[in-house]
Amino acid sequence: MTMKTDIEAVLKSLTLEEKISLLAGQNFWETVPIPGKVPHIKTSDGPNGARGADFTGGTRAACFPAASNVAATFDLDIANRIGQALAEETQTKGARCLLAPTTCIHRHPLGGRNFESFSEDPLLAGKLASQVIQGVQSKGIAATIKHFAGNEQETERMSVDETISERALREIYLRPFEIAIKEAKPWAVMTAYNQINGEHCDSNSFLFKVLREDWGWKGLAMSDWGGTNSTAEALNAGLDLEMPGPTLKRKVPDVLAAIKAGKLSESTINDRARTVLEFIDKLKAFEDPTIPPEQAINKPEHQKLIREAGARGCVLLKNEKQVLPLTKDKAKGKKIALVGLAKMPLAHGGGSASLNAHYKISPWDAMQEALGDSAELVYAKGAHTQRILAPIGEDKNAGSVVGLDGKPGFTLNLYDNETKELKETINSHPCSSLSPVMESAVMKIAEFIGDFTPSETGSHYMGCTGLSMTQVYINDQLVYDQKKPAPDAMGFLFGAISEEEFTHPFTAGTTYRIKVRSLPPVNIPGLEILNGHTGVRLGLQLASEHDADLQGEAAALAKDADYAIVFTGNDPQWETEGQDQASFNLPRKGSQDALVSAVAAANPNTIVVNSTGVAIALPWLDQVAGLLHAGFAGQECGNSIADVLTGAVNPEGRLPMTFPKALEDAPAHGNFPGEYVNGKLKVEYKEGVFVGYRHYDRVGRGKVNFPFGYGLSYSSFETGNLRVSKSSETEYTVSVDVSNAEGAYGGTLVQVYAGKSETSPEHPVKSLVAFQKVRLQPSKKQSLSLSFATRDLGFFDDTKGQWVVPAGQYDISLGQSAMDLLQTVKITVDQEVTFAP
């Protein structure tokens, strides 16, 4: 029997100083314990897998599909099952709190973290986030919905000031949080880094008023890591826990001084400490305070779920002349060219969503397994896509690096920044890492020394970045001088910063002494947790590889094949937390787009499989026969893709975001990522509520390649007989019939949109109000019943501070996508209805 802890008694047993100490983390992942009184708990990233404590490498973990892939399934059950599995994974890492799900809106196609969030539509994002949270918390693990709110860009995310109307906040950016918080009651909320209307989110009185008063949420509010920007203000607003630790803003003397100055009250400290204690109690840490060691448990049931969810999240966008599926019978005796990123499993994006997966299945390996000996598979790389060159010494074919001890790797010498005395030596160290240096190099100069022996003669390509000022010497000659700190420290941290390449002549078999010196950065605004640390990376690529005609080789291979499948996408260096997208086009420097065009010119049966978490430019769309958007499907990504390509799974995914034809057609174009005013980045959400398809409904289909909700199947589904009835004053019921007219067993999506019959420029034409995935055997029919809230017909009136549903006639439409409406019925609201916020 579970014993309930007397929280008030625990609170009374604590000194004021002890209560204050509870309000910030102990270290990067754990809360503060008070021996004999309060246990501590461990947290873990993240949204598509429980990584554990190590940010790079570390304990292996299951990698699930990204949130944008889960959104493409439009499947509440899959989201719930993924939540349950994520909770089990969290337990294997000794943690009781999962820092997920990410629930912000896809405002712009260049949003660096879009893949980690669900959708451009708030209803879809909110409903799926709700199910993930319910799944996680059903296992006794806390879910942390994030980032509250407005984290729709990575550029200057620590400080950017966003001007957003209350209407846009309520209808678009807060709406998914409202749905998930009211339905699932997450035990924790994480605030965002950015400012909204001049106030940082961690101390934003409006956001906390909405959260705790309007929505009645009771739980723990924690900051994003390094995202606590004040002492008294954040505590007064409602931020319970500063993360990570040790504290920067809640040092006991500082908080005591704020209390003495009248800026804070002891009752506020009691309220915040009580919430922390209740959170720890809810996680049963008072009963069992142990934090078990991390384990890598590769569960077969999780493998199966990841493969299923990844496949159901694949969206078939084009299939001319039924070029797909490539079944075993269809492929028998054929030659199939797999080109591009076929041997690179694009399982996840970068940043908090990255982890050391148990394994990753590439499309090449999966297609070999799926087709066996029935077809001949051939491969060509086709293009250079890397953002940064591979770390020197990593590619053994390029040559070897040994340190001063004669062992592989570099010797790292750490010198005191003031005395210049040698303080520490670390051997066998890669010249491409930050973390080991962070642990030991506070306020030290780092000097990497290694002897490089190249395998080939040539003027080879190199690239270097230092977190701070960095110099590269080869045989005591200065060959690279970075005179300023890295322009993007977060990009450096995640290995996602574009480097300036340079060349240096080498002779095969000759040994060259390489020395890289880097100073510690003194101040990184917004990333104070890195202050005083240092880190560098040095990459190298042989000239013969860099200058090879990869595109020509791929085109020649495709010309000789019956089918060509080009795998495109973004690896975690290109699509990552900390960086917005470098371009609407695929990286790098047009190489992937040129590859697709070249292969399509050589082979009319060209199929593109794209793995990005964002909409991209499709300049070659008219040239290819097939297009499958696969996203980041997790560790089983290759198998998920192969299942759809070969027909083992009938594609049923639908786009959770619109694919515009040009970046200029995006609703936030011109207002992303903002403009600098007196040295500070500001961005105005001028598009208001016209985000995603709400915008494209106004500008027309001519601006869109593929609309929200679009997706093809290998079967022919028929959906119709739409009926709408009023079930109560606050709810409507929608009935619809669905049949699988012909083809294999498969799934289709019922989409219900609503909007005022008489359109006006102030309001969207329509909004998604209900959806349901249904799967049917061939020739089978099913009647479905869905519901939507009366409030969903209306809008948020800033002047009244209420939701308003005006009297009048409304169109309730059944959609094949947001732009393909199958049937519409009209309903009448007799008199205006209002709802409290």
Q: Which band of pLDDT confidence, cut at 50, 70 and 90, is reported for residue 434?
A: very low
Query: C-alpha distances in angstroms, 606 versus 173, 351, 562, 603, 647?
Result: 39, 33, 9, 6, 17
Residue 532 has pLDDT above 70, yes or no: no
Q: Which of 587, 651, 593, 646 has its CA nearest to residue 623?
A: 593
Residue pair 476/466 in contact by the 8 Å Cβ criterion:
no
Residues of the chain above pLDDT 90, percent: 87
Cα separation of 769 and 39, whole Å? 44
254 is known as an active-site residue: no
DSSP 8-state code for residue 64: P
* Cα 426 from Cα 447, distance rounded (Å): 10
Render pLDDT for 311-334 as a digit per residue (tens, 0 to 9): 999 999 999 999 999 999 999 999
CA distance linking residue 705 with residue 684, whole number of Å: 27
- For residue 650, which amino acid is it? N
Q: What percent of the chain has pLDDT over 70?
A: 97
Report pLDDT digits (tens) over 706-739: 999 999 999 999 999 999 999 999 999 999 999 9
DSSP classification of residue 294? P
Q: Are 813 and 753 in contact (CB under 8 A)?
A: yes
Cα–Cα distances in angstroms (integers) from residue 565 to residues 329, 570, 609, in the given order: 18, 17, 7
Per-residue pLDDT tens digits for 252-285? 999 999 999 999 999 999 999 999 999 999 999 9
Identity (one letter) of the amino acid at 111? Answer: G
pLDDT of residue 658: 98
pLDDT band for position 414 (cuts 50, 70, 90):
confident
Q: What is the 3-state secondary structure (H, E, C) of 578-619?
A: CECCCCCCCCCCCHHHHHHHHHHHHCCCEEEEEECCCCCCCC
The torsion angle over the Cα atoms of residues 434, 435, 436 and 437, rounded to 10 degrees, is: 50
Q: Tokens for 589? A: 């420097």
Six-digit token string for 84: 């349950």
Kindly report the number of other CB atoms within 10 A of residue 206's CB atom: 15
pLDDT number for residue 460? 97
Average pLDDT, the chain: 94
The pLDDT, as a whole number, for residue 437 is 40
3-state DSSP: the chain helix, strand, coil percent, rounded to 5?
25, 30, 45
Give the pairing of strands 606-611 and 477-482: unpaired
Report whether 562 contacts 589 (CB < 8 A): no
Domains observed in the chain: 7-282 (3.20.20.300), 399-541 (2.60.120.260), 716-835 (2.60.40.10)
201 neighbors 194 (Cβ within 8 angstroms): yes
Q: Which helix (H) or strand (E) holds 827?
A: strand 820-829
Annotated catalytic residue, options 45, 75, 161, 224: 224
Cα–Cα distance measured from residue 608 to residue 626, given in angstroms and rounded to the nearest whole number:
6
Q: Does 441 have pLDDT greater than 50? A: no
Pairing of strands 335-340, 376-380: parallel
